[in-house]
Protein backbone atom coordinates (compact mmCIF):
# COMPACT_ATOMS: atom_id res chain seq x y z
CA UNK A 1 0.00 0.00 0.00
CA UNK A 2 1.23 3.45 -0.82
CA UNK A 3 2.36 5.51 2.16
CA UNK A 4 2.19 9.25 2.76
CA UNK A 5 2.30 10.15 -0.92
CA UNK A 6 -0.14 12.80 -1.99
CA UNK A 7 -0.23 11.20 -5.42
CA UNK A 8 -0.10 7.46 -6.03
CA UNK A 9 2.92 7.81 -8.33
CA UNK A 10 4.93 10.20 -6.10
CA UNK A 11 7.73 8.41 -4.26
CA UNK A 12 10.55 10.95 -4.31
CA UNK A 13 10.47 14.26 -2.46
CA UNK A 14 12.90 17.15 -2.49
CA UNK A 15 12.53 19.67 0.33
CA UNK A 16 14.79 22.72 0.33
CA UNK A 17 14.85 26.32 1.47
CA UNK A 18 15.95 28.62 4.29
CA UNK A 19 13.17 27.56 6.69
CA UNK A 20 15.11 24.70 8.29
CA UNK A 21 12.69 24.57 11.22
CA UNK A 22 9.73 23.70 8.96
CA UNK A 23 11.81 21.20 6.97
CA UNK A 24 12.97 19.28 10.03
CA UNK A 25 9.50 19.37 11.58
CA UNK A 26 8.17 17.76 8.40
CA UNK A 27 10.94 15.14 8.45
CA UNK A 28 10.23 14.40 12.11
CA UNK A 29 6.53 13.92 11.34
CA UNK A 30 7.25 11.51 8.48
CA UNK A 31 9.76 9.54 10.56
CA UNK A 32 7.25 9.06 13.36
CA UNK A 33 4.40 8.12 11.03
CA UNK A 34 6.52 5.63 9.09
CA UNK A 35 7.98 4.05 12.24
CA UNK A 36 4.49 3.68 13.71
CA UNK A 37 3.03 2.11 10.57
CA UNK A 38 6.00 -0.16 9.83
CA UNK A 39 9.13 -0.04 11.97
CA UNK A 40 11.84 2.44 12.97
CA UNK A 41 14.25 -0.02 11.32
CA UNK A 42 12.63 0.79 8.00
CA UNK A 43 13.75 4.42 8.23
CA UNK A 44 17.34 5.14 7.15
CA UNK A 45 19.12 8.43 6.68
CA UNK A 46 22.38 9.57 5.10
CA UNK A 47 24.26 12.86 5.27
CA UNK A 48 26.61 13.59 2.38
CA UNK A 49 28.97 15.42 4.77
CA UNK A 50 29.27 12.62 7.33
CA UNK A 51 30.73 9.70 5.36
CA UNK A 52 33.42 9.05 2.79
CA UNK A 53 32.25 8.57 -0.77
CA UNK A 54 33.10 4.85 -1.12
CA UNK A 55 31.27 3.82 2.05
CA UNK A 56 28.37 6.11 1.24
CA UNK A 57 27.82 4.72 -2.26
CA UNK A 58 27.82 1.14 -0.97
CA UNK A 59 25.49 2.07 1.92
CA UNK A 60 23.07 3.72 -0.52
CA UNK A 61 23.00 0.64 -2.71
CA UNK A 62 22.36 -1.58 0.31
CA UNK A 63 19.60 0.70 1.60
CA UNK A 64 17.78 0.57 -1.72
CA UNK A 65 17.60 -3.19 -1.73
CA UNK A 66 14.39 -4.82 -0.55
CA UNK A 67 14.91 -6.47 2.85
CA UNK A 68 12.18 -9.05 3.46
CA UNK A 69 13.11 -9.31 7.14
CA UNK A 70 11.63 -5.88 7.88
CA UNK A 71 9.28 -5.65 4.92
CA UNK A 72 9.72 -3.97 1.57
CA UNK A 73 8.60 -0.46 2.66
CA UNK A 74 11.40 1.98 3.41
CA UNK A 75 11.78 5.69 4.05
CA UNK A 76 15.21 6.95 2.96
CA UNK A 77 16.22 10.45 4.03
CA UNK A 78 19.11 12.05 2.14
CA UNK A 79 20.67 15.29 3.36
CA UNK A 80 23.18 17.62 1.65
CA UNK A 81 23.32 15.73 -1.66
CA UNK A 82 22.17 18.84 -3.54
CA UNK A 83 24.31 21.50 -1.90
CA UNK A 84 26.37 23.92 -3.99
CA UNK A 85 29.98 22.97 -4.55
CA UNK A 86 32.24 24.39 -1.84
CA UNK A 87 34.62 26.92 -3.32
CA UNK A 88 38.27 26.55 -2.41
CA UNK A 89 40.91 29.25 -2.64
CA UNK A 90 43.00 28.91 -5.77
CA UNK A 91 46.26 30.40 -6.96
CA UNK A 92 46.10 32.91 -9.82
CA UNK A 93 47.38 30.22 -12.22
CA UNK A 94 44.75 27.71 -11.08
CA UNK A 95 42.02 30.34 -11.40
CA UNK A 96 42.96 31.09 -15.01
CA UNK A 97 43.00 27.39 -15.86
CA UNK A 98 39.60 26.72 -14.29
CA UNK A 99 37.77 29.88 -15.37
CA UNK A 100 36.35 28.11 -18.42
CA UNK A 101 35.02 25.30 -16.25
CA UNK A 102 33.22 27.61 -13.82
CA UNK A 103 29.82 26.77 -15.27
CA UNK A 104 30.52 23.08 -15.59
CA UNK A 105 28.40 20.57 -13.71
CA UNK A 106 29.97 19.70 -10.33
CA UNK A 107 30.86 16.00 -10.06
CA UNK A 108 29.97 13.92 -7.01
CA UNK A 109 30.33 10.15 -7.09
CA UNK A 110 27.67 9.59 -4.39
CA UNK A 111 25.19 11.88 -6.14
CA UNK A 112 25.98 10.28 -9.50
CA UNK A 113 25.25 6.85 -8.02
CA UNK A 114 21.89 8.14 -6.84
CA UNK A 115 21.00 9.30 -10.35
CA UNK A 116 21.27 5.68 -11.51
CA UNK A 117 19.59 4.22 -8.42
CA UNK A 118 16.53 6.48 -8.71
CA UNK A 119 15.41 4.53 -11.76
CA UNK A 120 15.86 1.15 -10.08
CA UNK A 121 14.57 1.38 -6.51
CA UNK A 122 11.56 -0.54 -5.22
CA UNK A 123 8.02 0.68 -5.75
CA UNK A 124 7.47 0.60 -1.98
CA UNK A 125 10.31 2.99 -1.16
CA UNK A 126 10.01 6.68 -0.37
CA UNK A 127 13.00 8.98 -0.70
CA UNK A 128 13.25 12.46 0.80
CA UNK A 129 16.06 14.81 -0.21
CA UNK A 130 16.76 17.61 2.29
CA UNK A 131 18.79 20.69 1.42
CA UNK A 132 18.96 23.75 3.66
CA UNK A 133 19.25 26.74 1.35
CA UNK A 134 19.16 26.61 -2.43
CA UNK A 135 20.16 23.39 -4.22
CA UNK A 136 22.78 23.52 -6.95
CA UNK A 137 20.71 23.59 -10.12
CA UNK A 138 23.66 22.41 -12.22
CA UNK A 139 23.96 19.04 -10.51
CA UNK A 140 22.88 16.02 -12.52
CA UNK A 141 21.00 14.77 -9.47
CA UNK A 142 18.85 17.90 -9.20
CA UNK A 143 18.23 17.89 -12.94
CA UNK A 144 17.13 14.27 -12.59
CA UNK A 145 14.71 15.22 -9.80
CA UNK A 146 13.22 17.97 -11.93
CA UNK A 147 12.73 15.49 -14.76
CA UNK A 148 11.01 13.02 -12.41
CA UNK A 149 8.86 15.85 -11.01
CA UNK A 150 7.62 16.59 -14.51
CA UNK A 151 6.29 13.01 -14.73
CA UNK A 152 4.75 13.02 -11.24
CA UNK A 153 7.24 10.57 -9.73
CA UNK A 154 8.87 13.32 -7.69
CA UNK A 155 7.77 16.44 -5.87
CA UNK A 156 10.01 19.45 -5.30
CA UNK A 157 9.00 21.93 -2.61
CA UNK A 158 10.69 25.07 -1.30
CA UNK A 159 10.26 25.93 2.38
CA UNK A 160 10.58 29.70 2.71
CA UNK A 161 11.07 31.48 6.01
CA UNK A 162 7.86 33.32 6.90
CA UNK A 163 7.95 37.08 6.62
CA UNK A 164 5.89 39.79 8.24
CA UNK A 165 2.37 38.76 9.23
CA UNK A 166 3.03 35.15 8.12
CA UNK A 167 5.65 34.83 10.86
CA UNK A 168 3.13 35.75 13.55
CA UNK A 169 0.61 33.32 12.08
CA UNK A 170 3.19 30.53 12.18
CA UNK A 171 3.87 31.20 15.87
CA UNK A 172 0.14 30.91 16.53
CA UNK A 173 0.10 27.57 14.69
CA UNK A 174 3.00 26.29 16.81
CA UNK A 175 1.14 27.31 19.97
CA UNK A 176 -2.12 25.71 18.80
CA UNK A 177 -0.30 22.50 17.92
CA UNK A 178 0.94 22.35 21.51
CA UNK A 179 -2.64 22.92 22.71
CA UNK A 180 -1.59 26.06 24.59
CA UNK A 181 -3.00 29.58 24.85
CA UNK A 182 -1.11 32.85 24.49
CA UNK A 183 -2.68 36.30 24.44
CA UNK A 184 -1.76 38.48 21.48
CA UNK A 185 0.45 40.85 23.46
CA UNK A 186 2.49 37.87 24.70
CA UNK A 187 3.13 36.77 21.10
CA UNK A 188 4.11 40.31 20.10
CA UNK A 189 6.61 40.59 22.95
CA UNK A 190 7.98 37.11 22.25
CA UNK A 191 8.68 38.14 18.66
CA UNK A 192 10.25 41.41 19.77
CA UNK A 193 12.45 39.73 22.36
CA UNK A 194 13.61 36.62 20.49
CA UNK A 195 13.51 37.72 16.87
CA UNK A 196 12.78 35.50 13.88
CA UNK A 197 14.63 32.37 15.03
CA UNK A 198 11.97 29.67 14.94
CA UNK A 199 14.09 27.17 16.86
CA UNK A 200 14.47 29.55 19.81
CA UNK A 201 10.84 30.67 19.52
CA UNK A 202 9.80 27.03 19.84
CA UNK A 203 12.03 26.50 22.89
CA UNK A 204 10.71 29.64 24.60
CA UNK A 205 7.11 28.58 23.92
CA UNK A 206 7.81 25.21 25.56
CA UNK A 207 9.33 26.97 28.57
CA UNK A 208 6.38 29.36 28.92
CA UNK A 209 3.84 26.53 28.62
CA UNK A 210 5.60 24.57 31.34
CA UNK A 211 5.71 27.67 33.56
CA UNK A 212 1.99 28.47 33.22
CA UNK A 213 0.86 24.83 33.70
CA UNK A 214 -2.16 25.00 31.40
CA UNK A 215 -3.06 28.64 32.06
CA UNK A 216 -2.99 31.32 29.39
CA UNK A 217 0.45 32.84 28.78
CA UNK A 218 0.41 36.61 29.16
CA UNK A 219 2.76 39.45 28.30
CA UNK A 220 4.16 39.66 31.83
CA UNK A 221 5.13 35.97 31.66
CA UNK A 222 7.21 36.58 28.55
CA UNK A 223 8.74 39.67 30.11
CA UNK A 224 9.67 37.69 33.21
CA UNK A 225 10.91 34.42 31.69
CA UNK A 226 12.31 35.10 28.23
CA UNK A 227 15.84 36.40 28.20
CA UNK A 228 15.72 39.15 25.64
CA UNK A 229 18.54 39.54 23.19
CA UNK A 230 18.20 43.31 23.21
CA UNK A 231 20.08 43.96 20.05
CA UNK A 232 22.81 46.58 20.42
CA UNK A 233 22.05 47.60 16.85
CA UNK A 234 18.59 48.72 17.93
CA UNK A 235 20.10 50.95 20.60
CA UNK A 236 22.64 52.20 18.05
CA UNK A 237 19.84 52.89 15.58
CA UNK A 238 17.97 54.95 18.18
CA UNK A 239 21.19 56.87 18.94
CA UNK A 240 21.52 57.83 15.28
CA UNK A 241 17.83 58.75 15.07
CA UNK A 242 18.22 60.95 18.15
CA UNK A 243 21.27 62.64 16.64
CA UNK A 244 19.45 63.22 13.36
CA UNK A 245 22.00 61.14 11.42
CA UNK A 246 19.67 59.89 8.69
CA UNK A 247 22.27 58.24 6.46
CA UNK A 248 23.80 56.27 9.33
CA UNK A 249 20.36 55.36 10.70
CA UNK A 250 19.35 54.12 7.25
CA UNK A 251 22.53 52.06 6.99
CA UNK A 252 21.93 50.38 10.36
CA UNK A 253 18.31 49.70 9.48
CA UNK A 254 19.27 48.11 6.16
CA UNK A 255 21.90 46.00 7.94
CA UNK A 256 19.16 44.55 10.12
CA UNK A 257 16.92 43.69 7.15
CA UNK A 258 19.80 42.36 5.03
CA UNK A 259 20.82 40.05 7.88
CA UNK A 260 17.40 38.42 7.81
CA UNK A 261 15.74 40.28 10.68
CA UNK A 262 11.99 39.85 10.38
CA UNK A 263 10.15 43.11 9.53
CA UNK A 264 7.58 42.59 12.28
CA UNK A 265 10.37 41.89 14.75
CA UNK A 266 12.23 45.06 13.75
CA UNK A 267 9.06 47.13 14.00
CA UNK A 268 8.21 45.61 17.39
CA UNK A 269 11.72 46.27 18.72
CA UNK A 270 11.64 49.91 17.60
CA UNK A 271 8.12 50.40 18.96
CA UNK A 272 9.06 48.82 22.26
CA UNK A 273 12.18 50.97 22.53
CA UNK A 274 10.29 54.20 21.90
CA UNK A 275 7.59 53.14 24.35
CA UNK A 276 10.30 52.56 26.97
CA UNK A 277 11.82 55.95 26.18
CA UNK A 278 8.45 57.68 26.68
CA UNK A 279 7.97 55.99 30.05
CA UNK A 280 11.55 56.75 31.10
CA UNK A 281 11.25 60.36 29.93
CA UNK A 282 8.19 60.85 32.11
CA UNK A 283 9.86 59.24 35.14
CA UNK A 284 12.99 61.35 34.72
CA UNK A 285 11.21 64.67 34.17
CA UNK A 286 8.40 64.12 36.68
CA UNK A 287 10.20 62.33 39.52
CA UNK A 288 13.79 63.26 38.78
CA UNK A 289 14.94 59.63 38.66
CA UNK A 290 18.56 59.38 37.55
CA UNK A 291 19.60 56.00 39.00
CA UNK A 292 19.47 53.09 36.56
CA UNK A 293 18.48 50.57 39.24
CA UNK A 294 15.59 52.70 40.44
CA UNK A 295 14.51 53.27 36.85
CA UNK A 296 14.76 49.51 36.15
CA UNK A 297 12.59 48.80 39.21
CA UNK A 298 9.95 51.34 38.18
CA UNK A 299 9.91 50.22 34.54
CA UNK A 300 10.28 46.50 35.34
CA UNK A 301 13.17 46.02 32.92
CA UNK A 302 16.75 44.79 33.21
CA UNK A 303 19.20 47.39 34.60
CA UNK A 304 21.21 47.10 31.38
CA UNK A 305 18.16 48.25 29.41
CA UNK A 306 17.40 50.96 31.96
CA UNK A 307 20.92 52.36 31.62
CA UNK A 308 20.65 52.51 27.83
CA UNK A 309 17.24 54.14 28.02
CA UNK A 310 18.40 56.65 30.64
CA UNK A 311 21.14 57.88 28.32
CA UNK A 312 18.87 58.02 25.27
CA UNK A 313 16.12 60.05 26.97
CA UNK A 314 18.48 63.04 26.81
CA UNK A 315 18.42 62.89 23.00
CA UNK A 316 14.65 63.27 22.58
CA UNK A 317 11.86 65.56 23.65
CA UNK A 318 8.48 64.10 24.66
CA UNK A 319 6.97 65.49 21.43
CA UNK A 320 9.64 63.83 19.27
CA UNK A 321 9.03 60.46 20.91
CA UNK A 322 5.28 60.73 20.43
CA UNK A 323 5.79 61.63 16.76
CA UNK A 324 8.07 58.63 16.24
CA UNK A 325 5.58 56.37 17.97
CA UNK A 326 2.74 57.54 15.71
CA UNK A 327 4.90 56.98 12.61
CA UNK A 328 5.59 53.40 13.68
CA UNK A 329 1.88 52.79 14.23
CA UNK A 330 1.31 53.83 10.60
CA UNK A 331 3.93 51.28 9.48
CA UNK A 332 2.27 48.62 11.64
CA UNK A 333 -1.12 49.28 10.03
CA UNK A 334 0.37 49.23 6.53
CA UNK A 335 2.22 45.94 7.07
CA UNK A 336 -0.95 44.25 8.30
CA UNK A 337 -3.38 45.60 5.72
CA UNK A 338 -1.44 46.45 2.56
CA UNK A 339 0.76 44.55 0.16
CA UNK A 340 3.65 46.97 0.52
CA UNK A 341 7.43 46.82 0.60
CA UNK A 342 8.46 46.87 4.27
CA UNK A 343 11.89 48.28 3.40
CA UNK A 344 10.25 51.23 1.64
CA UNK A 345 8.09 51.94 4.70
CA UNK A 346 11.14 51.99 6.98
CA UNK A 347 13.04 54.17 4.50
CA UNK A 348 10.22 56.70 4.57
CA UNK A 349 10.23 56.57 8.36
CA UNK A 350 13.92 57.54 8.45
CA UNK A 351 13.50 60.15 5.70
CA UNK A 352 10.74 61.83 7.71
CA UNK A 353 12.93 62.43 10.77
Cα angle vertex 149, ends 147, 152, to 5°? Answer: 120
CB atoms within 10 A of CB 349: 20
Report helix angle 263-287 to 342-351, nearest 10.
30
Domain 12-158 has CATH 3.40.50.300: yes
In whole angstroms, give the CA distance from residue 107 to residue 100: 16
- pLDDT above 70 as % of the chain: 84
CA dist 148 → 27, 55, 166 (Å)? 21, 27, 31
> For 303-345, what is each residue's pLDDT tens digit?
777 888 999 999 999 999 999 999 999 998 888 776 778 889 9
In whole angstroms, give the CA distance from residue 184 to residue 164: 15
pLDDT confidence of residue 112: 80
Q: Which residues of 25-41 are buried (b: 16+ CB within 10 A; e: fewer)?
A: bbbeebbeebeeebeee
Domain boundaries, the chain: 12-158, 165-351
Q: Is 123 exposed, middle or buried (0-12, 13-18, 19+ CB in 10 A)?
A: exposed
In whole angstroms, give the CA distance from residue 238 to residue 316: 10
* Segment 136-162 mean pLDDT: 91
> For 198-253, what is each residue's pLDDT tens digit?
888 999 999 999 999 999 999 888 877 886 544 567 788 888 998 889 999 999 99
- Backbone CA torsion sign across 77, 156, 176, 229: positive
* Segment 69-89 mean pLDDT: 73
β-bridge mates for residue 155, sequence order: 13
For residue 302, name the pLDDT band (cuts at 50, 70, 90): low
Question: Are 159 and 194 within 8 A, CB to CB?
Answer: no
Q: Is the pLDDT of residue 102 over 50?
A: no
Cα angle vertex 168, ends 16, 27, to 5°? Answer: 30
Q: Quote the distance between the C-alpha of residue 57 and its chain's center.
A: 32
Predicted TM-score (pTM) of the model is 0.57
CA dist 138 → 25, 51, 86, 134, 145 (Å)? 28, 23, 14, 12, 12
Cα angle vertex 345, ends 307, 313, to 5°? Answer: 20
pLDDT confidence of residue 329: 92
For residue 89, name the pLDDT band (cuts at 50, 70, 90): very low
Q: What backbone torsions phi and psi does residue 101 show, to the nearest 5 degrees? A: -95, 5
CB atoms within 10 A of CB 223: 16
CATH number of 165-351: 1.20.272.10
Amino acid sequence: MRYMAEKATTQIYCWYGDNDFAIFEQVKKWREMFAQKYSALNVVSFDREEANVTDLVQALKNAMRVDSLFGSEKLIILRNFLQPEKKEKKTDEESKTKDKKEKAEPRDEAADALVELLDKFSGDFFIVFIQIGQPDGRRALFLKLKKLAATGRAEIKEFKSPRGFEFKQLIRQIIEKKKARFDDSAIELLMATVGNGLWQINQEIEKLIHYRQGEIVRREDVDFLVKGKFNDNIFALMDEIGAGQKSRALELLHDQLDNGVNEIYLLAMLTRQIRLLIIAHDLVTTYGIKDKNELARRMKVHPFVAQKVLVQTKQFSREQLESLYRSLLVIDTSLKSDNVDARLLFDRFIAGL
